[in-house]
Amino acid sequence: MAGLAAAFGSGAMTNPIRDVLSAKSILLTGTNTTENHPIFANYVKEAIVKNGCKLIVVDPRKIDIVELAHIWLRPRPGNDVAWINGLLHVIIRENLHDEDYIQNRTTGFDELRACVEKYTPEYVSGITGIPPEDIVEAAVTYGGSKPSSILYAMGITQHTNGTNNVKSLANIAMLCGNVGVVGGGVNPLRGQNNVQGACDLGALPNVYTGYQQVANEDVRSKFAAAWGVDHLSSTPGLTVTEMFGGAERGTVHAIYVMGENPMVSDPDINHIRECIEALEFFVVQDIFMTETARLADVVLPVACFAEKDGTFTNSERKVQRIRKAVDPPGEAREDRFVIAGIARLMGFPLEYPDTRSIMQEIARVTPSYAGITYERIERDGITWPCTSEEHPGSPILHVGTFTRGKGVFTAIEYKDPAEVTDDEYPYILTTGRVLQHYHTGSMTRRGTGLNRLYPELLAELNPDDAGRLGIGDGEMITLSSRRGTITVKAKLTERSGPGVVFVPFHFSEAAINVLTNSALDPTSKIPEYKVCSIKVEKASM
């Protein structure tokens, strides 16, 4: 969000899902789309197989969708700014950039051109390991095929330079005039079903709903009046990673977790446990007794998606109704009842007769949602911004002009990841998801069928590395970083390149995030899940 907002003025997916069917080429990077977003992947496959769209995949792993790719670039993990700058260099050198678009709709091009001058294919190859001729082919394919769509996910963002990675993707899209057009855009694929909606409605430390800034006095006055209070603080709150740091330092005394499982999902889990144990009070609100909930002073049981009414906002910014199908079990209640009950006990009457009334308040205080009502989304959703009840919604952002006015090119130099390999820790660990399990496995690992399909944690190890280490397929290995050690079964596969080990993070009994690095992107404060240095050894029996 931070990267796209800086470049375009809005930190959301620019185009609808179906738009890839109109693309002449698709640049897909940092997303194992067939496993993490399989429905979206179906549209990509259709674009390629039926429409002749050219697919450029950039990923350190040989993920399944590589089989459909026109070209596959395999960089070392953490080298994204370098290869993107390489594409920018070639596109400018080959005069494939859109000069009219750049002149009329953007700023900062001269600085960008000067920055990428040195990022020749040969120079970039030395950093990334990608052959120079492949860099040229990918650049010519993207730059010579208009419109072109960019799809990315957490393989781009979960780095200490994640915000710069996103700005770099924005650079290449603007360079070729691919923003604000059908079949183009820069499109982050969201990791969970309502993460876009949560961000839209203020679940960020520095904004209220609709990304209205906490620091803006007029915005604060507006919300104070809407909520019937005299004063709202101008100080932004903390990100999740900053909260746990505050717990360790004693500046945060209590944490209230809703629908999150940091004891599996956060980096350097041993450190997270220490932070939680340092708190005076810890509350978890969830549908299951997760690994995090077991550490809580109070656990609040709540309803799942099928047990409540409301809306979800999906990756393409479409606001859609959800409807209660069954009653929640036992003492579980809808989240809104729990939150309202706590507010009431704290002296603030947070009362809503139903979810419709909540949606009405959202529309009153959120300009981008102003025209969205239950009546209008009864049968189909509406894509924000939708500024009035007469407005049809906005499937494509930045048509004619960017939200911020002119799009901003950012000249970005490549920097190494926070942790690089050395003699003691010579391998790179990268993490992610598999098709059969979801996020921390708090739901999918409770089902028999999915556990049969993917029953245990496997570490993908390149056969060349395994041969040097004397490790056979299916043998137990020990992975160690500067933060901890786990034992896991090896799976020998060409999917992971030499020197790279991939491990899913769903399995709490051997949680890979014991090893990962808590170093943060300075802007977004996201941890560097995708790159850390490890050593690999055959487990002692």
Domain boundary among 256, 280, 300: 300
Given a contact cutoff of 8 angstroms between Cβ atoms, the answer to whether 480 and 534 are in contact is yes
Is 29 strand, coil or helix? strand
Q: Is residue 243 part of a domain?
A: yes
361 and 271 in a common domain = no
The average pLDDT across 469-493 equals 93
Q: Is residue 407 part of a domain?
A: no
Which among 397, 414, 398 is positioned nearest to 165, based on CA atoms?
A: 414
Where residue 133 sits, what CATH number does that domain have? 3.40.228.10
pLDDT above 90 covers a percentage of the chain that reads: 77
Where residue 486 sits, what CATH number does that domain have? 2.40.40.20
The pLDDT value given to residue 443: 80
| Packing angle, helices 121-128 and 132-143, rounded to 10 | 120
265 and 224 in a common domain = no
For residues 478 and 541, what is the distance between their CA atoms, to the nearest angstrom? 11
For residues 251 and 241, what is the distance between their CA atoms, to the nearest angstrom? 13
The average pLDDT across 283-309 equals 95
How many domains are there within the chain? 4
107 and 47 in a common domain = yes
Confidence of residue 336 (pLDDT cuts 50, 70, 90): very high
Instruction: Judge whether residue 476 has pLDDT over 80.
Output: yes
Domain boundary among 344, 369, 390: 390
250 and 197 in a common domain = no
**What is the per-residue pLDDT across 7-21, written as a single tens digit (0 to 9) for each?**
898 888 999 989 999
Given a contact cutoff of 8 angstroms between Cβ atoms, the answer to whether 124 and 147 are in contact is no
The pLDDT value given to residue 269: 87
252 and 225 in a common domain = no
Which among 62, 63, 80 is positioned nearest to 161, based on CA atoms?
A: 80
442 and 345 in a common domain = no
Q: What sign has the CA pseudo-torsion 217, 223, 227, 233?
A: negative
The pLDDT value given to residue 477: 93
Q: Which residue has the higher pLDDT, 460 or 154?
A: 460
Count other Cβ atoms within 10 Å, centred on residue 117. Answer: 13
Give ∠ CA 478-479-482 in degrees, rounded to 5.
130
**DSSP string covering 195-207:** HHHHHHTT-STTB
Q: What sign has the CA pseudo-torsion 284, 288, 290, 296?
A: positive
The average pLDDT across 275-285 equals 97
179 and 195 in a common domain = no
Q: Is residue 311 part of a domain?
A: yes
For residues 268 and 264, what is the distance between their CA atoms, to the nearest angstrom? 10
Q: Could you tell me whether strands 532-538 and 476-480 are parallel, antiparallel, or unpaired per DSSP bridges?
A: antiparallel
Q: Is residue 496 part of a domain?
A: yes
152 and 20 in a common domain = yes
Q: Record the tokens describing residue 174, joined without a space.
A: 């603007």
Confidence of residue 541 (pLDDT cuts 50, 70, 90): low
Instruction: From residue 65, give the alpha-carbon distance in Å to each of 76, 134, 495.
Output: 18, 18, 12
29 and 152 in a common domain = yes
Q: Is residue 421 part of a domain?
A: no
For residues 86 and 70, what is the distance between their CA atoms, to the nearest angstrom? 18
Is cis: bond before 385, omega within 30 of 0? yes
Confidence of residue 190 (pLDDT cuts 50, 70, 90): confident
For residues 214 and 220, what is the distance between their CA atoms, to the nearest angstrom? 6
Domain boundary among 369, 390, 411: 390
Average pLDDT, rounded, for the chain? 92
Given a contact cutoff of 8 angstroms between Cβ atoms, the answer to whether 76 and 129 are in contact is yes
277 and 196 in a common domain = no
Give the residue carrying structure tokens 């049969």: 452
Q: For the chain, first and last CA: distance in Å?
A: 47
Where residue 325 sits, what CATH number does that domain have? 3.40.50.740
The pLDDT value given to residue 276: 96
Which among 39, 7, 34 is positioned nearest to 179, based on CA atoms?
A: 7
pLDDT above 70 covers a percentage of the chain that reads: 100
**DSSP string covering 102-124:** HHHHEE-HHHHHHHHTT--HHHH
**What is the per-residue pLDDT across 171-187, written as a single tens digit (0 to 9) for each?**
999 999 999 999 999 99
The pLDDT value given to residue 157: 86
254 and 225 in a common domain = no
Instruction: Judge whether residue 437 has pLDDT over 90.
Output: no
Where would I find the H helices in 72-211?
80-93, 99-105, 109-116, 121-128, 132-143, 154-157, 162-175, 195-200
Give the residue carrying structure tokens 């769903």: 506
| Structural domain boundaries enclosing 484 | 427-538
Is 84 strand, coil or helix? helix
Q: Is residue 410 part of a domain?
A: no
DSSP run (H or E) holding 477: strand 476-480
Q: Is residue 488 part of a domain?
A: yes
- The lowest-confidence range among 308-322, 353-367, 514-528 is 514-528
Return the amino acid letter for 254: A
476 and 520 in a common domain = yes
Q: Record the tokens describing residue 381, joined without a space.
A: 């959703």
Which among 100, 112, 92, 110 is positioned nearest to 177, based on CA atoms?
A: 100
Q: Record the tokens describing residue 106, joined without a space.
A: 């953007």
Q: What sign has the CA pseudo-torsion 143, 144, 147, 151?
A: negative
Return the amino acid letter for 517: N
Give me the residues paired with residue 536 across strands.
479
For residues 142 and 146, what is the distance between their CA atoms, to the nearest angstrom? 8
How are the residues of the chain apportioned to helix, strand and coil, as percentages rounded to the nearest 5? 35, 20, 45
Burial 255-274 (b: 16+ CB within 10 A, else e): bebebbbbbbbbbbbebbbe
**What is the per-residue pLDDT across 372-409, written as a single tens digit (0 to 9) for each?**
999 999 999 999 999 999 999 999 999 999 899 999 99
**Is pTM beyond 0.85 here?**
yes
For residues 215 and 346, what is the distance between their CA atoms, to the nearest angstrom? 25
**What is the per-residue pLDDT across 91-101, written as a single tens digit (0 to 9) for each?**
999 999 999 99
The pLDDT value given to residue 267: 82
**What is the per-residue pLDDT across 487-524, written as a single tens digit (0 to 9) for each?**
999 999 999 999 999 998 777 777 888 888 888 878 88
The average pLDDT across 253-264 equals 93
Give me the residues paired with residue 258 across strands.
285
Q: Is residue 329 part of a domain?
A: yes
Give ∠ CA 488-490-495 in degrees, rounded to 5.
125
